Amino acid sequence: MKPKLLLIGGGGHCRSLIDVIEAEGKYEIGGILDIPERIGEKVLGYPIIGSNNDLENLFGTFTHALITFGQIKSPDSRIAMYERLKGIGYTLPTIISPRAYVSKHARIGEGNVILHDALINANATISDNCIINSKALIEHDCVVESHCHISTGAILNGGCTLKEGSFFGSNAVSKEAITIEEGSFIKAGSIAK
């Protein structure tokens, strides 16, 4: 029997992740939390069963949870939710699309989402609570610290370090072997040197 998974956030990023969760097939989506006004609505057929105020009460019914809202302007909401879920005792699985490639020599932490056609090459490290979006490329020997969002089509070239809480925009490209400072916001289409 598949573990039931509680999704936190019912917007556009949640819809993308539902597709990946279904494709991976390891978890049964048991329900979604969003704002109280949305309780009773459905997202791609899955019910919004409560709000963040219900996290403690739902623990036990659910032991696995996944943060399904995104990060653009700031990682603060995702960091706070990650810490809250861990404090309650939830297990935060990593969800990997079957259409992604993750090297067996890469190290992947918890609570990450790796979407369709992403590539994570040998000796790369993805810490915790990261979004590796569709068609992103994390090259060999890269380190992506916790709470980062690598956007669609972005490329981190070999040996880069992306420090905690950073956003790396769509189609942005890094020079090889650089360090991108904590909390950085790399705009879409730019070159990080």
Full DSSP string of 65-117? EEE-S--SS-SHHHHHHHHHHHHHT-B---EE-TTSEE-TT-EE-SS-EE-TT
Mean pLDDT of 163-182: 97
Are residues 35 and 59 located together in one domain of the fold? yes
Are residues 176 and 128 located together in one domain of the fold? yes
**DSSP 3-state assignment of 23?**
helix
Q: Which residue range is the domain that position 168 belongs to?
A: 94-193
Is the pTM here over 0.85, yes or no?
Answer: yes
pLDDT tens sequence across 30-72: 999 999 999 999 999 999 999 999 999 999 999 999 999 998 7
Are residues 108 and 177 located together in one domain of the fold? yes
**DSSP 3-state assignment of 137?**
strand
Please give the DSSP secondary-structure letter assigned to residue 17: H
CA distance 26 to 65: 13
Are residues 160 and 112 located together in one domain of the fold? yes
Are residues 83 and 17 located together in one domain of the fold? yes
Residue 5 CA: distances (Å) to CA of 25, 26, 28, 119? 12, 10, 6, 25
Domain final position from 43, 61, 93:
93
Task: Tell me how many domains the chain contains.
Answer: 2
pLDDT tens sequence across 87-120: 999 999 999 999 999 999 999 999 999 999 999 9
The CATH code of the domain that includes 11 is 3.40.50.20
Residues 88-108 as b/e (b if ≥16 CB within 10 A, e otherwise) read eebebbbbbbeebebeeebeb
Are residues 84 and 118 located together in one domain of the fold? no
Are residues 89 and 24 located together in one domain of the fold? yes
The CATH code of the domain that includes 124 is 2.160.10.10
Domain final position from 93, 115, 134:
93
Are residues 111 and 191 located together in one domain of the fold? yes
Are residues 19 and 68 located together in one domain of the fold? yes
The two tokens of residue 114 are: 């790796």
Domain final position from 93, 123, 157:
93
The two tokens of residue 193 are: 């040197």
Asked if residues 29 and 93 have their Cβ atoms less than 8 Å apart, the reply is: no
Are residues 133 and 177 located together in one domain of the fold? yes
